[in-house]
Structure 1
Amino acid sequence: MSLFWRIFALNAVVLGSATALLLWAPVTVSVPVVLTEAVILVGGLAVMLVANAALLRIGLAPLDRLTRLMTTVDLLRPGHRLPEQGSGETAELIRTFNAMLERLEQERAASSARVLLAQESERRRIAQELHDEIGQTMTAVLLSLKRASDEADEPLRGELQQAQEITRGSLDEVRRLVRRLRPGVLDDLGLISALTSLTTEFATHAGLRVVRSFDSDLPPLDQQTELVLYRVAQEALTNAARHADADRVEVSLCRTDGAVTLSITDDGRGTGIAHEGAGIRGMRERALFLGASLDVTTGPQTGTQVRLTIPVPASDSTPTPPPGSSK
């Protein structure tokens, strides 16, 4: 039954019931209307309106659910669907909306994958140029300053040595930027070593205590999965240093049933609401790229936890004997 005929039938039932009541009920209407008759008529009208409103609410309930889903749907949190029940125009509308969400989520995942791959490619290019061009140039400047400093007399030697120290600090900063743009240790030594290096550098520069816990029986992961885990950990640590006002951060990477879970928890001030800034949205984009789930929980004075769960195919879940765990 279409929505039009459903509403028509509901109103017909209410009006028919009211007509039958007037025909067979022992009630008469005088002219002029007396008070008791007026009370009965007003009461009957109220009952009829309430019944009509209740029936319409039941008939239009699927559209209300569809409207609420439309206002809350987020393509970075896929999987929201309405149950497809019955037939008719309303059920067809729900099925069409669910199919539209499926197409949009697939297109969003594909576009996110292209953007992230292009972003990593651009980061790799910039890191290579910084290393090859800026890094080598600053190294040559540093060597020239050292030779000039060795041959110069005071007070020029002191000034050259000061310039040498400034150049060395700038060179160290360039190298740190190169590591952030493209973690070479991830390609050379693997995920555990890369996360260890990342957390060590973070603790040194941010002045926070970092506690690591990495399982030793992680399943083999492909390059893209390891990169997503590394980038999410990098962004979560950056957020903890900039916004959490924390003293301690826990970083864990563990194996669960059919999945690998990365968790970053700080003891900062929290907010009570997980604010969706650019950093968290970027982490969700990366999770969507792998079909993973990202949960961000925070509460007042209880800190923030970022939890990334990546499903691992059953064929890849056989553990390999890697080095011992890092604590």
Structure 2
Amino acid sequence: MISIFKLLKRYFITIIILIILIQIIISIFMFISSYSTIEKNTKTMITFTSLTLSDYEKEVMLKMNRINGLFNEIKLDIIRNRKYDINDIMMKIGLTENPKNFMVTLIDENGRVIDTNIAKMKDIDLNIYPDMKKKLSDAKDTERLYLDFPVYNDQVGSFFAYILQYIPEMRSYLQIGYKIDILNELLSRVYLFNQIQDFSYNISIYYVRFYDNNGYIYSPLLGGDRNGYLEILNNILKKKVFEYEESSLSAIKIAHLLTLRDWSSPYGIFYVIEVKPHLYGILKHIIFLNVMFSLIYLALYTYYYLNIKKRFVKPLEEITNSIANSTPIVHNKSSEIYEIELLKNSYLDHLANIKLKDLLKEVLIAQEKERERISRDLHDTVLQDLNYILIELTRNNMKSFADILKEDIKSLRSLVIESDMLKLKKFGLEAFINEFLEEMGDKFKDINFNKEIDLSGISFDQERNLLISRIIKELVLNATIHSHGKNISLKIKKDNDNLIVSVKDDGMGFDFEEGYAKKGHIGLKLLKERVYVLNGEIKVITDYGTEIVITIPI
């Protein structure tokens, strides 16, 4: 017994691989066997479905022939008696099957309905409908019989077969329509699929109107608009066939086009029945197989668990504790295991990255403090002296020098920064932003500054407030100076666990990455660094103007 355990310990990985290979081979064999059975059943299903649909279409064509024969009988009676009476016609129709499905219309040469069994159609001028006007004209010129099928009537929501012919002896037209409930009849034919347990189905029906050069328009009547089905319709029209079959392991597609076989009618019904075989049988056997192999894996794992814990888990815990306590990781046996060595290096890289980000944050804060000190010195000394010189130049009418000095003062003043940290401490972030926008509005009166600020429920520490304020100022200043737009919009809001800052202008647009790469764009570099310190993201949208969106975790 001890020798067997030693054998398992020595060749554990090899044994596991062999068991997995055996499991895969058995699963493939079961799948091929089940596929053969499904393929056989699929062929039987295709044959059965095709016969069912063909029989139904034959029934529809038989109805069409009976309607055509009835039309000719009524036409001959009218010619023989030299008169027409809607009541006589309806009495003749009453002897047929489903007389309520008939619609009889007598039309004079001018396209006006003389008589009909549909009261609301009497005295209607059919020439107001372009398609009907053309059809009446063609029927009179050719004196041939026009048969349109299937024509969808939106008012009653049913399909009709319409037969129209001009009777020169009576100088009028005779039209007979017959309602065929194709939708419900088709659904009743395929309903029997519900009784087959190993298959499920869906049916999609489209109403199609054909044009020259194989063009068409379609309207879905049942089911969704699927591109794959319309490709089938394209192939049917191109090959001038009326049915299409396609089968695979996952589905059977049977498509039919119901229209006149001589393609004389510009209308048709295109329907697709997709039958999907259930794979429950295959899944049941494969699940059973996997349960059995899982028990084998469990037995092997139970024995080998202690060895795994000794060689892997314990050394990993030691390394993790060393990293958490920031203590050096001494070399041990575990470092010979490649995966643990990778995990150790990954932890150390992550820790170095965190320290780098903290260091960058400290540098930025130190820079802000140094800038504030320099700005105070500039304001109290250099700017005061320059302003005095400007006044003297203006008094002595030295305008050109005064203008140059005025621009230099303006440039220097843009570098002078008041103590933002003190303002943020005293008034908070929202009041600071409002004051800044008011100052911008006073300086740039030809630009409209709009704002939507909602900082309710949001609180940051002093350093984060300072970094966020600098980001906002940099965005607004860039939009003001470089966009050449007339409207600048600032939006600040909370979105889940993030603060969203958006600055949008209607100017000439701006390539952020290109501007960042150019020399001299220190502001953009500082913007990126501040966003990085805050673990944020920058998104630039350039369409009509530029929108820069900053996302900062709260």
With normalisation by structure 1, the TM-score equals: 0.51
- Aligned partners of 1:164 and 1:243: how far apart in 2? 25
Would you say the 8 A contact 1:249–1:265 is kept in 2?
yes
Deviations 1:22-48 (A, max 9, x none): xxxxxxxxxxxxxxxxxxxxxxxxxxx
Residue of 530, 533, 537 corresponding to 1:286: 530
The 8 Å contact of residues 293 and 309 in structure 1, kept in 2 or not, is answered as: yes
> Is the 8 Å Cα contact of residues 268 and 303 (structure 1) preserved in structure 2?
yes
Aligned match for 1:101, one of 346, 349, 359: 349
Q: Distance between the aligned counterparts of 1:218 and 1:177, measured in 2?
A: 33
Which of 427, 436, 450 aligns to 1:198? It is 436
Corresponding residue of 1:266 = 505
Give the corresponding residue for 2:462.
223
Residue from 479, 483, 498 that aligns with 1:240 = 479
Count of residue correspondences = 222
Conserved in 1, the CA contact under 8 Å of 2:454 and 2:493? Answer: yes
Q: Which stretch of structure 1 is more off in the superposition, 171-180 or 121-130?
A: 171-180
Q: Which amino acid aligns with 1:294?
A: E
Is contact 2:371–2:417 with CA below 8 Å preserved after alignment? no
Distance 1:121 1:264 in 2: 26
Q: In structure 2, what is the Cα distance between the partners aligned to 1:118 and 1:284? A: 17
**Quick one: distance in 2 between partners of 1:281 and 1:90?**
39
1:211 maps to amino acid: N
Q: CA deviation at 1:287?
A: 2.9
Alpha-carbon distance in structure 2 between the residues aligned to 1:120 and 1:138: 25
Tell me if 1:253 matches 2:492: yes
Q: Unmatched 5+ residue regions in structure 2? A: 1-13, 19-335, 517-521
1 CA distance for matches of 2:513 and 2:402? 45
1:298–1:304 Cα contact (<8 Å) kept: yes
Between structures 1 and 2, the one with greater strand share: 2
Counterparts of 1:232 and 1:171 in 2: how far apart (Å)?
25
CA distance in 2, matches of 1:246, 1:199: 16
Provide the identity percentage: 20
Aligned to 1:115: 363
User: What amino acid is the match of 2:533?
Assistant: F
Matched AA of 1:111: L
User: Using the alignment, how far apart are the partners of 2:351 and 2:428 within structure 1?
Assistant: 35
Q: Which letter does structure 2 place at the counterpart of 1:303?
A: T
Cα deviation code 1:171-199 (max 9, x no counterpart): 56544431378587545544333323433
Kept in 1, the 8 Å contact 2:485–2:508? The answer is: yes
Aligned to 1:135: 383
Q: Distance in 2 between matches of 1:243 and 1:215?
A: 27
Higher alpha-carbon deviation: 104-113 or 250-259: 250-259
In terms of Rg, which structure is larger?
Answer: 2
The aligned counterpart of 1:305 is 548
Aligned residue identity for 2:505: D
Residue type of the partner of 2:501? L
Q: Structure 2 vs 1, CA of residues 237 and 116 (structure 1 numbering), >3 Å: closer, same or farther?
A: same
Aligned to 2:451: 212
Q: Secondary structure at the match of 2:416?
A: helix
* Paired residue type of 1:232: I
User: 1:229: Cα distance to partner?
Assistant: 1.3
Task: Report how far residue 226 of structure 1 moved.
Answer: 1.9
Alignment-mate amino acid for residue 213 of structure 1: E
**Structure 2: distance between partners of 1:178 and 1:208:** 22
Q: Give me the whole-angstrom Cα distance separating, in 2, the residues matched to 1:135 and 1:226.
A: 29
- Counterparts of 1:14-163 in structure 2, within 5 Å, are 91-92=339-340, 94-141=342-389, 158-159=397-398
Q: Which has the higher helix share?
A: 1
SS at 2:367 equivalent: helix
Q: Answer 1 or 2: higher relative contact order, Cα 8 Å, separation at least 6.
A: 1
Query: SS of the counterpart of 1:179?
Result: coil
Aligned structure 1 segments of 4 or more residues deviating by more than 6 angstroms: 142-146, 161-169
Q: What per-residue deviation string (whole Å, max 9, x for no partner) do you get for residues 227-253 of structure 1?
A: 111111122224434555544322122
Query: 295, 308, 313: which is aligned to 2:538?
Result: 295
Counterpart CA distance in 2 for 1:137 and 1:272 is 39
Rounded Cα–Cα distance in structure 2 between residues aligned with 1:172 and 1:210 = 21
Shift of 1:127: 0.2
Task: Give RMSD over aligned pairs.
Answer: 4.5
Q: Give me the whole-angstrom Cα distance separating, in 2, the residues matched to 1:107 and 1:164.
A: 51
Secondary structure of the structure 1 residue equivalent to 2:458: coil
